[in-house]
A and B are shown apart, each in its own frame.
Chain A
Amino acid sequence: MNDSAPDKVTSRRGFFQLAFGWLAAIFAATASAAGAVRFLVPNVLFEPDQRFKAGKPDDYLDGAVTFLDDERVFIVRKGNTFRCLSAICTHLGCTVNRAGQGFHCPCHGSVFDDQGVVKSGPAPRPLDWFSVSLSKDNRLLVDKGRRVTDDKYLVI
């Protein structure tokens, strides 16, 4: 400590007492705040599985875009290829509606084409495509936890 005022020279003991006191106070405050915030971050979630079975491939008509209510996705079938498109708007999370060949979001007016690509509106990126595979019992198996590019198909 090089204190400029000569009558306010801090002794070594005084300096350490002050420094330790402040450090302890800052540490206690930071630790309490961090503990409280960490407490609010849940460690275990009781949320539904991201994977689900979407029925038999033949349940879907050729060329159809079928909305699955509970999962908020569209199953897109073309010939013997299957894909799964998210119905959750990439803007602020509303469910998009099928409109003509594309999709409209009712909340803030984003418009997507049939490939989920943004045509207009505030959505920052295209709708997500999810991985589709075939389960052992010949059902479509969608994993909403795995995003894929729009050129990945399940071919049956």
Chain B
Amino acid sequence: MNAPAPKRLWQRFTRTRVGRSIFRVGLPESNLERSQAMVSSFLLHVQPAKVHRHALRASYSLGLGLISLYLFCILCGTGVLLMFYYVPSTDKAYDIMKDLQFVVSAGLVIRNMHRWAAHLMVLFVMLHMCRVFYTGAYKNPREFNWVLGVGLLLVTLGLSFTGYLLPWDQLAFWAITVGTSIAGYAPVVGEKLKYLMLGGHIVGQDSLTRFYALHVIVLPAIAVLMISVHLFRVRKDGGLSRPDEPGDVVEQIPLGQLPANKSYGLMELARGTTPQVGKNPEDEVFSWPHLVFRELLLFLLVTAVVLFLAIFWNAPLEEIANAVHPPNPAKAPWYFLGLQELVSYSAFWGGVVVPGLLVTALALLPYIDRKRHGVGRWFARERVVANTIFSVCVAIAVIFTVIGSLFRGPNWSWVEPWKNPPAVTEGH
């Protein structure tokens, strides 16, 4: 046997009584063991023993959902570490940021990782949504998983917003001020909602405590629950979307019409596309090692990129919160700059109506666009109308974000980024 030393060691360990009691299956040698390895492991059993070749194509999924999941895991890990130092107090929060930066071992890198992973997660969740749209993957039977995805996008944005409030720097203070004021424009419940968010009339300790609770437990718990259902549904809806093949469409028995005087096995009730019945086994490969190793590789890649960013670039920290003067200009992080540009025209239309309609349209999309064609291919020709409408919306969002990022200077006035910004001469 000329297997490398770690492999031999592992094999010997899994053959011992203790090793076998923990892992059941050692390193798989046969196809049977490859299946068993997936089924008997807690972490791996979430995935099927065999996957369709199409699901492994990096050029199809681009791994965007998985990258988002990994970023979420990194955020949970670094976030829990940060909680060991952070105190949600308006007097202490900012000083603790400075401590993390200058005093705590690895504090700077861990905070940087947390911030950059958060930015990347917003980006990759958005990209993942675009991928799912352009491949028509939200169509039957995956409609509800798309809706969950829209919810997860909102939770991700909520986590980011509540997260950058915690350092209690200028960005934090004025983001709470502006953010809760936008909520105040909501019809009927607006003012009450603002009072509830702030825990009073002014931005202060009560507001910070509330956003802290939302950031460290409420929203992460919702996210974990929704991610779990999202992944569960990926599998129950037949794995990653792919073009229809002959034999794919298995007639589904409506549950209500089953005779009641007979007992049923689970396989008789399961959704038509999940079991292997009628499938060409040539199209499927064992998840171990084909899927598992790709996933491991991607995880290492994502972690390496986040670590690289965290080592070479510091997370932003503005001056300590000044309750009198906002910075000029006071700019949100990039993913909210399109929204900031919108509210600079009208708080009600730009901050409530347009985002509200956008989210509603996104959530209803799979129930509006119901034709089952062009699923599983990028930019399918049959979907040219839908793809064009979506692309125009994405382009408008990008344009507003670019305007907010680069073309707005002091007093949110129009500036051209290639010219020097005019000096701010006004004051009190």
**Residues of A contacting B199 in the complex (Cβ-Cβ under 8 angstroms):** 40, 42
Cβ of A156 under 8 Å from chain B: no
Question: If the complex has contacts A47-B202, A92-B182, are A99 and B426 also in contact, measured as CB distance less than 8 A?
Answer: yes
Instruction: Say how far A100's CB is from chain B's closest CB, in angstroms.
Output: 8
The answer on a CB contact under 8 Å between A95 and B324 is yes
Q: Which of A42, A70, A104, A106 is packed against the most chain B CB atoms within 10 Å?
A: A106
Q: How many residues of B contact A (CB 8 A)?
A: 36
The complex places the Cα of A93 from the Cα of B347 at a distance, in Å, of: 11
The complex places the Cα of A107 from the Cα of B329 at a distance, in Å, of: 6
Cβ of B280 under 8 Å from chain A: no
Question: If the complex has contacts A45-B201, A106-B410, are A95 and B326 also in contact, measured as CB distance less than 8 A?
Answer: yes
Write the chain A residue with the least CB distance to B428: A67
Instruction: Say how far B152's CB is from chain A's closest CB, in angstroms.
Output: 23
The answer on a CB contact under 8 Å between A42 and B200 is yes
The complex places the Cα of A99 from the Cα of B428 at a distance, in Å, of: 8
Please report which residues of chain A, range 103-118, place their CB below 8 angstroms from some CB of chain B when the two chains form the complex: 104-109
- The one of A40, A67, A104, A122 in contact with B411, judged by C-beta atoms closer than 8 angstroms, is A104
**Residues of B contacting A104 in the complex (Cβ-Cβ under 8 angstroms):** 411, 426
The answer on a CB contact under 8 Å between B324 and A69 is yes
Cβ of A91 under 8 Å from chain B: yes
Cβ of A5 under 8 Å from chain B: no
The answer on a CB contact under 8 Å between B330 and A106 is yes
**Residues of B contacting A41 in the complex (Cβ-Cβ under 8 angstroms):** 195-196
The answer on a CB contact under 8 Å between B196 and A109 is no
Cβ of A139 under 8 Å from chain B: no
| Contact digits for B296-327, partner A, Cβ 8 Å, 1 yes 0 no | 00000000000000000000000000001111
The complex places the Cα of A92 from the Cα of B196 at a distance, in Å, of: 17
Write the chain B residue with the least CB distance to A74: B428
Question: If the complex has contacts A45-B201, A72-B324, are A107 and B426 also in contact, measured as CB distance less than 8 A?
Answer: no
| Contact digits for A39-71, partner B, Cβ 8 Å, 1 yes 0 no | 011100101100000000000000000010110
Given A93-B177, A94-B178; 14 other pairs, CB 8 A cutoff: A41-B195, A42-B206, A47-B202, A67-B428, A98-B426, A98-B427, A98-B428, A106-B327, A106-B328, A106-B411, A107-B174, A107-B329, A122-B347, A124-B347
Residues of chain B having any CB pair with chain A under 8 Å: 174, 177-178, 181-182, 195-196, 199-202, 204, 206, 324-330, 340, 343-348, 350-351, 410-413, 426-428
